[in-house]
Chain A
Amino acid sequence: MSYSFQFGEILANGDLLLRGLKLTVLLFALAFSGALVCGLFIGLARGSARRLPNLIATAYIELFRNTPVLVQLIWFYYAMPALTGWQPTAFTAAALGLFLNTSAYCAEIWRAGLQSLPAGQWEAGRAIGMSEWQLLRRIVVPQAIARMVPAFTNRGVELAKMTSIASTITVQELMYEAKMLSTQTFLPLETFTVVAVIYFVLIYPGTLAAYALERRLNSKGA
């Protein structure tokens, strides 16, 4: 029980972790920005009264929400090339998988957010002759967005945690570098402790922001 920690050696290899961290952030940024936008369109289709778009969007959302991300990433990296002949790099496969996965969750947030708006707002916009797109951009989204920001923030937190799974298909992000480092130094306890703390420091502000946003929203009585 009198184990003496050797954090020094891990910190000496900080540049390695930093390199991984950059890729983690890049993965996150690509997947999240894409999913926020793509989610809107899937969400619109999901909320649509028309049969076909609704069906496709529902199937898409259910498929991605009811299978593990790990399986999705593996599928894009190892399985899809056999079918399409296109072999994405590990990074591309991971970014694609995370993006599509997060899009499915964002779609549900968009749908709920858009539906939370009273029907009168849509009607008022139509009554002054706005197109659906104008309506969305000028009337609906600006009002719904405040209500959706906490949920999106939570989703961002989930995505940030998910990026670590990219290491399993050899993307050299933070978790991958950590595994390397732990075998090089024979210090897995220190390595994974340090890496857990790095993730926490990165992700926790997001959670705190979501708490604060929710509280502000509730106190506004929205």
Chain B
Amino acid sequence: MQYVWDFRPVWLNFGVLLEGLVNTLKLSGFSIGLGLVIGLVLALGRLAPTRFLSIPATAIIEFYRNTPPLVHFFWYFYGLPILTGISLTPFAAAAAALSVQSGAFFAEVFRGGIVSVERGQWEAGRAIGMGHAQLMRRIILPQAFRRMIPPLMERSFELVKTTSLAATLTYGELVYKAMVLATQTYRPMEIYSTIAVMFFTVLFLASLGMRAVEHRLARRAAR
């Protein structure tokens, strides 16, 4: 097998790929930020003492966790405008799908962290007369937060990978730029390998960073 590698098209168009990477990170950052807010709301809803809140929150969480992201991308891009009359840009549709879905996953991380706080902490707070909201804000969330950071980061890396699906909505993130370049240059091998390396570099470095953070948290917990 004599394949002649030719990376020239990649170097010549590297600016395009970089632009794609920036768009990937832009979409990721936006969706993570919004997803965290949605996740916190859903988690507090699920843990709320009234069913009026906990049932809908649970339904949303379970539905989004158990359906493929691609369906949501299409639903938000092609379906939602019919309902609302407002058409979304590829970026907006992708960001909406990503933030709601990762919000559902983040919610479970938040909830897991919250319920992992020992019962005695809830009791001690209640015993000095704290209400549900005070207890959450002052006692439970500060303790839960530390335990949530590693899984939240892991979930965020998943989200970065999922942003690639925005290519199917023609949003110009890394995969989409690569597809366009591949058809222009007839060099799919080199181009797709390059973007794989780019994704790998970003995500691998991020996960190394996460391990460092985890390490520091573990040390601080032993204070």
Contacts and interface: CB of A to CB of B under 8 A. Distances in A.
Direct contact of A and B (CB under 8 A): yes
Interface string B164-193: 110110000001000100100000110111
A9 interface: no
Contact of B203 (A67, A189, A203): A67
Among all A-B residue pairs, the 5 with the closest Cβ atoms: A188-B78, A189-B79, A164-B68, A68-B164, A66-B203
Interface residues of A, number: 47
Contacts of B69: 161
Contacts of A152: none
A196 interface: yes
A23 B54 CA distance: 36
Nearest to B202: A66
A85 to B, nearest CB: 6
User: Which of B85, B157, B193 has the most chain A CB atoms closer than 10 A to its own CB?
Assistant: B193
Nearest to A161: B68
B72 A196 contact: yes
A82 B189 CA distance: 6
Contact of B175 (A62, A68, A193): A68
B204 interface: yes
26 contacts: A3-B82, A66-B200, A66-B203, A67-B161, A67-B203, A68-B163, A68-B164, A68-B175, A68-B199, A70-B165, A70-B167, A71-B192, A71-B196, A72-B196, A78-B182, A83-B189, A84-B1, A161-B66, A165-B70, A189-B78, A191-B79, A195-B71, A200-B66, A200-B67, A203-B66, A203-B67
B175 A175 contact: no
A207 B71 contact: no
A193 B75 contact: yes
Contacts of B127: none
A199 B67 contact: yes
Contacts of B182: 78
* Dominant secondary structure at the B interface: helix
Interface of A: 1, 3, 62-63, 66-72, 74-75, 78-80, 82-85, 157, 160-165, 167-168, 175, 178-179, 182, 188-193, 195-196, 199-200, 203-204, 206-207
A162 B74 CA distance: 15
Interface string B11-36: 00000000000000000000000000
B48 interface: no
B200 A189 contact: no
B168 to A, nearest CB: 6
A196 B175 contact: no
B192 to A, nearest CB: 4
Contacts of B163: 68
Nearest to B163: A68
A84 B93 CA distance: 38
B86 to A, nearest CB: 11
User: Which of B70, B82, B179, B196 has the most chain A CB atoms closer than 10 A to its own CB?
Assistant: B70
Contacts of A193: 75, 79
A124 B162 CA distance: 45
A192 B193 contact: no
B83 A66 contact: no
B165 A75 contact: no
A150 to B, nearest CB: 14
Given A85-B1, A196-B72, A70 B175 contact: yes
A3 to B, nearest CB: 6
